[in-house]
Amino acid sequence: MKVIGAIGQNGSGKDEVLKYLKATCRVPFFSTGDMVREIAGKEGVEATRDNLRAISERYFRERGEGCFVRLLAEKIGREEAQIVGISGIRSLADVTILKDFFGDDFILIHVTMNDPRQRYERMVTRGEERDPHSYEQFLALDRAEEDLFHVEEAGRQANYSIANNGTLADLHRAIDQLVSDKGILK
């Protein structure tokens, strides 16, 4: 089984990469964030970013860093699909766990954006309740997530990088190029 992971800062487009692969290539994808939201629901906790971060921190303390990725890797390992995607990869521990679990069949794509204001505006446009409601909150979230997960360090472990500084069509073309030129789905 081949596993395609996407990593990047909030609002960078990492989930869009996996959604596009699902829509165009029928690659199902799983999210560590969905697992955390499921835990919040079971605990009767509203799924705000702060609450989800608190749950993540608690689970990391109790079960170790990378616990969500480990659980998700085990779940994916039971799937019958030839190729799956995984979203919510954040830390170097996450990357290491996935590389250990899937070996060379794990492909990591780092999705980057140069302009934090543009990432924030895209988050506002998508309109998810859990997203920050001001640019200042967004910047604080970025700092907190980088301090907790070291996303940029983990992203340097990627097999490929896609810059998402243009339009959605530009991102889709970059994904198509990875699929055709680099054969990431083969």
Task: Tell me the β-bridge partners of 115.
Answer: none
**Does position 186 have pLDDT exceeding 80, yes or no?**
yes
DSSP 167: -
Angle of helix 32-43 relative to helix 49-63, nearest 10 degrees, comes to 100
Is residue 185 situated within a structural domain?
no
**pLDDT category, 56, cuts 50, 70, 90?**
confident
Is residue 6 situated within a structural domain?
yes
Is residue 125 situated within a structural domain?
yes
Is residue 183 situated within a structural domain?
no
pLDDT digits (tens, 9 = 90+) for 154-169: 999 999 999 999 999 9
Is residue 25 situated within a structural domain?
yes
Is residue 105 situated within a structural domain?
yes
Mean pLDDT of 28-51: 90
**Does position 108 have pLDDT exceeding 80, yes or no?**
yes
pLDDT digits (tens, 9 = 90+) for 110-141: 999 999 999 999 999 887 777 888 999 999 99
Mean pLDDT of 59-85: 90
pLDDT digits (tens, 9 = 90+) for 14-25: 999 999 999 999
Predicted TM-score (pTM) of this structure:
0.88
Is residue 184 situated within a structural domain?
no
Strands (E), 71-120: 83-87, 106-112
**pLDDT category, 79, cuts 50, 70, 90?**
confident
Q: Quick one: tokens of 155?
A: 């992203």
Is residue 153 situated within a structural domain?
yes
Q: What's the pLDDT at 176? A: 97
**Does position 65 have pLDDT exceeding 90, yes or no?**
no
Q: Which residues contact 122 (CB under 8 A, 6 or more apart)?
A: 11, 13
Task: Tell me the β-bridge partners of 159.
Answer: none
> How many structural domains comprise the chain?
1
Mean pLDDT of 21-40: 92
Q: Quick one: tokens of 19?
A: 């959604």
Helix (H, G, I), strand (E, B), or coil: what is residue 83? strand
CATH number at residue 51: 3.40.50.300
Q: Give the residue numbers spanning the domain of 114.
A: 2-178
Q: What's the pLDDT at 161? A: 97
